[in-house]
Amino acid sequence: MKEDEFRVNSDIRSPEVLLIDHENVKRGVMKTVDAIALAEEASLDLVEVAPTATPPVCRIMNYGKYRFQQQKKDKDARKKQKSHVVKEIKMRPKIDKHDYDFKVKAIIKFLKEGNRVKSSIFFRGREMAFLDRGREVLNKVVAEVEEYGKVESQPRMEGSYMRIMIAPIATEPISKPKPAPKVIVKKAVSSDKPKEELKIKAKPKVEAEADVKKETKATTKPESDAKPTAKAETETKA
């Protein structure tokens, strides 16, 4: 049996167990067969959680669900341990500005990723006489990264190195602002005009011209209404 596994149901060897039921109620010492029967009544499992106790401690639980939750916790713990490690940035007491700026940016990057950073000053030979210079460099680093990390330990000597430990500052993730709701503007329709008028479409040009001709013909007088000519008047007198 593996270390992370438990004896379940009929695999439990002890004839008696101290039972804790699925409602976390301590039932006391009873026979193992009776404890298994209670677990079966609840459609659950009897799990030996403390095999070295006298008698062994058993719980009634859903063993499959318990195993799944434990595996998930272990996976999350390994992932967290792997992603958050200690990074080390080494400098010299007489570091030039370009190199210094580059390494400070690296420290800030590591802190933003959630990693702890060990900043070290390496002293070689006679440089050990200038420890104050190394302390000044480390204090300057701390001042420049204070927005992203806090000092866990003050500068201290470890052999030829002067070191400090900087831990990231926990920050809440910035939530994106929600977009403003869209405003739909409906086109106003005048209530004075009936709906039928709004649906009328302009007549075609040909149809409009035909209507004009009809109106012109209707206004023209018929020939019967015209005045008689001079010849007609003479014939009438005779």
Using one digit for the tens of pLDDT, what is the confidence trace for 175-192? 455 565 555 555 555 555
Cα separation, 149 vs 89, in Å, equals: 14
Closest by CA to 67, choosing from 132, 148, 113, 8, is 8
Tokens of 205: 């040009």
Tokens of 137: 């460099």
The predicted pLDDT at position 114 comes to 87
Pair 60, 46: CB distance under 8 Å: yes
Pair 165, 152: CB distance under 8 Å: yes
The predicted pLDDT at position 173 comes to 45
Residues of the chain with CATH 3.10.20.80: 9-75
Residues of the chain with pLDDT under 50: 3, 173-175, 198, 200, 224-226, 232, 234, 236, 238
DSSP states along 144-184: HSTTTEEEEEEEEEETTEEEEEEEEPP-PPPPPPPPPPPPP
The predicted pLDDT at position 125 comes to 87
Cα separation, 139 vs 73, in Å, equals: 39
The predicted pLDDT at position 80 comes to 66
Q: Are strands 149-158 and 161-168 parallel, antiparallel or unpaired?
A: antiparallel
Tokens of 111: 């802190």
Classify domain 9-75 at the CATH class level.
alpha beta
The predicted pLDDT at position 14 comes to 93
178 alpha-carbon distance from chain centroid: 13
Superfamily of domain 84-168: Translation initiation factor 3 (IF-3), C-terminal domain (3.30.110.10)
pTM over 0.85: no
Q: Tokens 């070295």 — which residue?
A: 52
- DSSP class of 202: P
Residues of the chain with CATH 3.30.110.10: 84-168
The predicted pLDDT at position 206 comes to 53
